[in-house]
């Protein structure tokens, strides 16, 4: 066992030197965990921002003006008034995402206790803005109507008053979500790519033959590649979480960073094993890239980092439980967003450890077969 550990450490040192001597890989790690995290967090917005709004006011009342005056930046641009016969042309040309139409006698009907209909036209080609923006506008109409009835002293029964409490991201700031999720996704992507590329690089440079004549076993070689590349990814992720997320973007981290790092180490054992497994089926970097691309796309898009797991079909949600990325996303969100402790996240850690052992065993078997064929 002592000889095995010594060989793994020596081979890991070789892998780190090889990684340091590869400027492309070094720049890739730096870019993915710094520039890419910042650009995605600040550039990709899921909330409603600067949405264009128009309105048709056939009532010309104090209530309609009060509602229009409550539609404010930064969620919406200042509303523009248009004619009723110009709504279709404005929507067809894409000038506005939302168009509100107030009917005649709108204020009078409200004061009489009636329920007049306010038409809201939505351009759903901007899907994220359409859904969230429509909900915001409905809330504005409701709140301003209640306020108007209160200010006028009307005895009309107002709708119930709903109090909403928003936890973990009270300002609904997408930067808080996308920056952390970008780090999580980058860990998955680079774990597969770096370990797979390390094996392909040995094959393309002809150094795999040197390893075959050395007194080392396939498990030592594979473990060294996992440890060396995993260490580089973990260090880069920690620095990104500290310098980019917490410092540059001013995003608070609720939970324990050491606990997150521990879970990330467990997760790396499975995805780095997956990278070596994919590399054993290919003989060149282009082949490896083509094989890894669809795997990484499915892992990231269906892991719960982009869309909630509850929105997936039951069979697909059950199938994605076999992916370690699904459990890592749930683990990381619980710690970094909600401040969860070990008592809450230990099931995800146990599942990741089990999947990691399975992927490692399968990758080691394939690696031994490829090493035997190379002899």
Find, among 42, 375, 34, 67, the residue nearest to 186 by Cα.
Answer: 34
pLDDT value of residue 231 = 93
Which residues have CB under 8 Å from 174's CB, separation 6+? Answer: 44, 45, 46, 47
Residues found in the chain: 375
Q: How far is CA 312 from CA 185, 324, 333, 334, 341, in A?
A: 19, 17, 19, 20, 28
Q: How far apart are CA 86 and CA 107, in angstroms?
A: 23
| CATH number of this structure's domain 53-151 | 3.40.1710.10
Q: Give the pairing type, strands 119-122 and 98-102.
A: antiparallel
Find, among 279, 37, 300, the residue nearest to 179 by Cα.
Answer: 37
Q: In what order do the strands lie in the sheet with 98-102?
A: 80-81, 53-57, 98-102, 119-122
pLDDT tens for the 375 residues of the chain, in order: 788 888 888 888 888 888 888 888 888 899 999 999 998 888 777 678 888 999 999 999 999 999 999 999 888 999 999 999 999 888 888 888 899 999 999 999 888 888 888 999 988 776 667 788 888 898 899 889 888 888 877 666 655 455 666 777 877 777 888 898 899 999 999 999 998 888 888 777 777 667 667 777 888 888 888 999 999 999 999 999 999 999 999 999 988 999 999 999 999 988 998 898 898 888 888 889 889 988 998 888 888 887 778 778 889 889 999 999 999 999 999 999 888 899 999 999 999 999 989 988 998 888 888 766 655
Is the CB of residue 116 less than 8 Å from the CB of residue 31?
no
Supply the DSSP symbol for 296: H
Burial class for 121, CB neighbours closer than 10 Å (0-12, 13-18, 19+): middle
Q: Parse the chain into domains and list their residue ranges.
A: 2-44+173-374, 53-151
pLDDT value of residue 240 = 95
pLDDT value of residue 158 = 54
In the structure encoding, which two tokens stand for residue 39, read together? Answer: 């650009």
E strand or H helix at 98, and its extent?
strand 98-102
């Amino acid at each position: 066992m002592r000889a095995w550990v010594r060989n793994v450490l020596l081979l890991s040192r070789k892998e780190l030197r090889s990684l340091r001597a590869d400027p492309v890989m070094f720049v890739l790690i730096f870019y993915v965990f710094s520039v890419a995290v910042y650009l995605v967090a600040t550039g990709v917005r899921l909330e409603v921002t600067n949405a264009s709004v128009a309105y048709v006011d056939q009532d010309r009342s104090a209530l309609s003006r009060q509602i229009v005056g409550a539609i404010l930046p930064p969620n919406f641009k200042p509303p523009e008034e248009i004619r009723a016969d110009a709504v279709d042309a404005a929507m067809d040309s894409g000038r506005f995402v939302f168009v509100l139409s107030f009917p005649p006698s709108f204020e009078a009907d409200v004061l009489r206790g009636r329920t007049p209909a306010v038409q809201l036209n939505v351009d759903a080609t901007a899907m994220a803005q359409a859904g969230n923006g429509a909900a915001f506008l409905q809330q504005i109409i409701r709140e301003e109507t209640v306020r108007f009835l209160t200010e006028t002293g009307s005895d009309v029964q107002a709708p119930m008053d709903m109090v909403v409490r928003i936890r973990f991201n009270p300002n609904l700031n997408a930067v808080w979500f996308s920056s952390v999720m970008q780090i999580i996704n980058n860990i998955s992507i680079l774990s597969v790519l770096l370990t797979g590329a390390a094996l392909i690089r040995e094959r393309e440079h002809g150094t795999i033959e040197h390893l075959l004549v050395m007194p080392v076993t396939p498990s030592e070689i594979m473990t060294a590649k996992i440890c060396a590349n995993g260490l580089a990814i973990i260090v880069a992720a920690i620095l990104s979480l500290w310098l980019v997320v917490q410092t540059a973007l001013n995003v608070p981290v609720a939970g324990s960073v050491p606990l997150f790092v521990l879970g990330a180490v467990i997760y790396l054992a499975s995805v780095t094993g997956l990278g070596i497994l994919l590399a054993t089926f290919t003989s060149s970097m282009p082949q490896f890239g083509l094989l890894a691309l669809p795997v990484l796309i499915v892992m990231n898009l269906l892991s719960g980092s982009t869309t909630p797991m509850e929105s997936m079909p039951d069979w697909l949600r059950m199938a994605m439980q076999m992916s370690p990325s699904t459990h890592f996303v749930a683990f990381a969100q619980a710690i970094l967003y909600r401040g969860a402790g070990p008592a809450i996240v230990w099931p995800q850690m146990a599942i990741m450890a089990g999947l990691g052992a399975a992927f490692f065993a399968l990758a080691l078997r394939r690696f031994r077969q490829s090493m035997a064929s190379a002899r």
